[in-house]
A and B are shown apart, each in its own frame.
Chain A
């Protein structure tokens, strides 16, 4: 099942399908290892709901939900 990263639930694991929307933010995300085929797990969201904490390429990265919206993921079994 495909959805955007911000729609995934805490604890869920997914595989990145693609990043829509061009620009500096996308480039930064690509370089940080958020790129197609990478596996990503939502560790938690901050107390006020935003930003998210992700596990990606074996390290912890925090990004905002608005930026997570540009990341399309395929949910893997949990």
Chain B
């Protein structure tokens, strides 16, 4: 099957187009660096099938971060039959830089002018036909979210992926033609064959001082000593400037020549909506306070809208329990009725009741992603983050972590400095994800009023942030000392989030949660119920409670922490199973998990408030879940670091929970 790749700048709509072509539902958002891995899908059109590959965005073929390297690797090693180069029409010039580089490579190119609507709002029109003539490549116009131009694009893809390619005339690239010729010769002599397409390009990349291509050639066993000598001779008499500058300059000159011919601008530099919003949102005095208010607002939105729904779902499950008890009778010693009511409904239902608030949290994060505000947060926070040894961009994985740590850990691929990236991975586990939210809501909800519980949950999120940033600071002073990366970030225009896109994204994320509830959490609940039925949980829980003697918890709470190592939902699931065992139908009050929990907390502790806070802090900080550790393993590519991280999480959690207890006893 033929393969085509979507190669373009970040944030130009590659993934929207990928989804439209293949029917996939990959995540889309309005900030650069959303897609960080290679994803394939199948395009079916006119009875033909083609593999389409979505890739991370790149500004040029010079790549430094991991996500960018994936794209470059794809271009060079997989040699796609056709490259779809998507251009943000409202930002033609900068986007064309990569286009020219792709033409230099000799790639079979299909250019897509996307974001026609945004260009129009800025008064920009582009003559697509003329552009196609000048680039000697087909050009299709689209407005991807509205599916405009997609059919035409599909047809063009089929047509051009079959075409034999004839290289374009890359006149702008001739600056060093004689030098390139010599370097090419010496490359050939060193054993590099022209089968690896783009020998010319490899030569010029070396001339430009491209480290990645060097490494790739050296890794494949090519001796570059003689080549280096040729390059030194070629660049020797370049006064002040150098190959890098000469090339960038030549490409931009060519770009300006093209854009002068094809682009018309009917409005002058104009005060756009984005400018207006930025005046407020990145305002000198209000910018940071507004960020804090947005953060606070999100959580208040989540709680105030979510809470009534929790009651509703609870009601459904208690009705279900009653139904089962009515049918099978309430025999506490009956294994199967117990498994159904206490095990499955208690465990899985115990966590599912929190779906409404988790869903609202996902929705709020999803909408924020789509507006373009996250890029501004990075802009606002860069200086503060820099103080703590991180880049402003590192705030993005943290905010994404509020939803789920796994995609957040993956998104650190965009961070250019390896040490900053590893630091960001290490501390992301402290960021409170959606799965921890039920723990706070359950425990704080058992002891305090609704508003107090909401504030306590917000406090937990803040504590997570503070611990993460402080740990990052310590790591950057010690284990990951050194190199920093520059902050070079495009600020995309604000976009109004579309309702359908937001709902699709919400559904994708909820589906993930429901799937987990139906598999991992269900299995955990069954195992916990069975172990408990044979009275094996109590001794284990007691051991944990002894390890946490200062926290003064009963064995159920201890056992829940242990089972919660698997995933944070299991903490609540386990409490659901273990605390509901004594339910009876004549005592419906007790079906409320919160009441049972409150009783148990009071039975164990001499200072319930301190115990509750300490328990929540520990739950927040110790090991996000096995899957997140798996992500750490994958992204660090090191078991040693993964173990290191795990130990760090548990130690930090233990110490800070103990500290919380001490402070709590003092305050309450």
Measured CB to CB, the closest approach of chain A to B243, in angstroms, equals: 11
Query: Does A76 touch B at the CB level, under 8 Å?
Result: no
Most chain B beta-carbon neighbours within 10 Å: one of A43, A53, A60, A61: A60
Question: Would A59 and B284 count as touching, CB distance under 8 A?
Answer: no
Question: Would A25 and B245 count as touching, CB distance under 8 A?
Answer: no
Within 8 A of A (CB), among B270-287: 274-275, 278, 282-285, 287
Question: Would B383 and A53 count as touching, CB distance under 8 A?
Answer: no
Measured CB to CB, the closest approach of chain A to B67, in angstroms, equals: 15
Tell me the nearest residue of chain B to A30, going by C-beta: B248
Within 8 A of A (CB), among B456-510: 486-492
Query: Does B533 touch A at the CB level, under 8 Å?
Result: no
Query: Does A77 touch B at the CB level, under 8 Å?
Result: no
Tell me the nearest residue of chain B to A55, going by C-beta: B269
Residues of B within 8 A of A4 (CB): none
Most chain B beta-carbon neighbours within 10 Å: one of A26, A44, A47: A47
Residues of B within 8 A of A43 (CB): 275, 278
Residues of B within 8 A of A22 (CB): 242
Question: Would A46 and B282 count as touching, CB distance under 8 A?
Answer: yes
Question: Would B384 and A33 count as touching, CB distance under 8 A?
Answer: no
CA separation between A27 and B61, bound complex, in Å? 11
Question: Would B252 and A33 count as touching, CB distance under 8 A?
Answer: yes
Residues of A contacting B: mostly? mixed
Residues of B within 8 A of A29 (CB): 488
Residues of B within 8 A of A25 (CB): 486, 488
Interface string of A43-59 (1 = CB under 8 A from B): 11011111101010111
Question: Would A44 and B380 count as touching, CB distance under 8 A?
Answer: no
A side interface size, CB within 8 A = 35
Question: Would A44 and B278 count as touching, CB distance under 8 A?
Answer: yes
Measured CB to CB, the closest approach of chain A to B250, in angstroms, equals: 11
A28 touches which of B245, B384, B488 (Cβ 8 Å): B488
Query: Does B97 touch A at the CB level, under 8 Å?
Result: yes
Number of A-B contacts (CB under 8 A): 110
Residues of A within 8 A of B91 (CB): 57-59
Interface string of B212-249 (1 = CB under 8 A from A): 00000000000000000000000000000010110011
Question: Would B488 and A35 count as touching, CB distance under 8 A?
Answer: no
Question: Would B97 and A62 count as touching, CB distance under 8 A?
Answer: no
Tell me the nearest residue of chain A to B252, going by C-beta: A35
Within 8 A of B (CB), among A1-53: 19, 22, 24-33, 35-36, 38, 43-44, 46-51, 53
Interface string of B374-407 (1 = CB under 8 A from A): 0000011011101000001000000000000000
Residues of B within 8 A of A53 (CB): 278, 282, 379, 491
Question: Would A32 and B383 count as touching, CB distance under 8 A?
Answer: no
CA separation between A61 and B112, bound complex, in Å? 23
Question: Would A64 and B248 count as touching, CB distance under 8 A?
Answer: no
CA separation between A73 and B450, bound complex, in Å? 57
CA separation between A47 and B97, bound complex, in Å? 32
Residues of A within 8 A of B74 (CB): none
Most chain B beta-carbon neighbours within 10 Å: one of A53, A62, A66: A62
Question: Would B490 and A48 count as touching, CB distance under 8 A?
Answer: no
Known contacts A28-B488, A44-B282; A64/B382 CB under 8 A: yes
Measured CB to CB, the closest approach of chain A to B591, in angstroms, equals: 51
Residues of A within 8 A of B386 (CB): 50, 64
Question: Would A47 and B489 count as touching, CB distance under 8 A?
Answer: no
Most chain B beta-carbon neighbours within 10 Å: one of A33, A36, A49, A58: A58
Measured CB to CB, the closest approach of chain B to A41, in angstroms, equals: 8
B380 touches which of A24, A35, A46, A57 (Cβ 8 Å): A46
CA separation between A61 and B287, bound complex, in Å? 18
Residues of A within 8 A of B39 (CB): none
CA separation between A13 and B490, bound complex, in Å? 19
Question: Would B94 and A33 count as touching, CB distance under 8 A?
Answer: yes
Known contacts A30-B245, A35-B245; A62/B488 CB under 8 A: yes
Residues of A within 8 A of B490 (CB): 32, 59-62
CA separation between A26 and B380, bound complex, in Å? 23
Residues of B within 8 A of A58 (CB): 91, 93-94
Query: Does B59 touch A at the CB level, under 8 Å?
Result: yes
A35 touches which of B248, B382, B491 (Cβ 8 Å): B248
Residues of A within 8 A of B392 (CB): 51
Residues of B within 8 A of A46 (CB): 282, 287, 379-380, 382-383
Interface string of B90-128 (1 = CB under 8 A from A): 010110010000000000000000000000000000000
Measured CB to CB, the closest approach of chain A to B139, in angstroms, equals: 19
Question: Would A57 and B93 count as touching, CB distance under 8 A?
Answer: yes
Question: Would A47 and B287 count as touching, CB distance under 8 A?
Answer: yes
Query: Does B288 touch A at the CB level, under 8 Å?
Result: yes
Query: Does B584 touch A at the CB level, under 8 Å?
Result: no
Residues of B within 8 A of A35 (CB): 245, 248-249, 252
Question: Would A67 and B488 count as touching, CB distance under 8 A?
Answer: yes
Residues of A within 8 A of B168 (CB): none
Question: Would B244 and A27 count as touching, CB distance under 8 A?
Answer: yes
Question: Would B248 and A31 count as touching, CB distance under 8 A?
Answer: yes
Measured CB to CB, the closest approach of chain B to A49, in angstroms, equals: 7
Question: Would A31 and B97 count as touching, CB distance under 8 A?
Answer: yes
Residues of A within 8 A of B489 (CB): 61-62
Measured CB to CB, the closest approach of chain A to B543, in angstroms, equals: 49
Known contacts A31-B60, A35-B249; A51/B382 CB under 8 A: yes
19 A–B contacts, CB within 8 A, in A order:
A26-B244, A27-B244, A32-B59, A32-B488, A33-B94, A44-B278, A44-B282, A46-B287, A46-B379, A47-B284, A47-B287, A48-B288, A53-B379, A53-B491, A62-B379, A63-B487, A64-B486, A64-B487, A67-B486
- A-B pairs with lowest CB-CB distance, top 5: A30-B248, A48-B383, A60-B491, A31-B60, A47-B287
Can you add 12 more A-B contacts, CB < 8 Å, to A46-B379, A46-B380? A25-B488, A28-B486, A30-B245, A31-B248, A36-B249, A44-B282, A47-B285, A53-B278, A53-B379, A60-B492, A62-B489, A62-B490
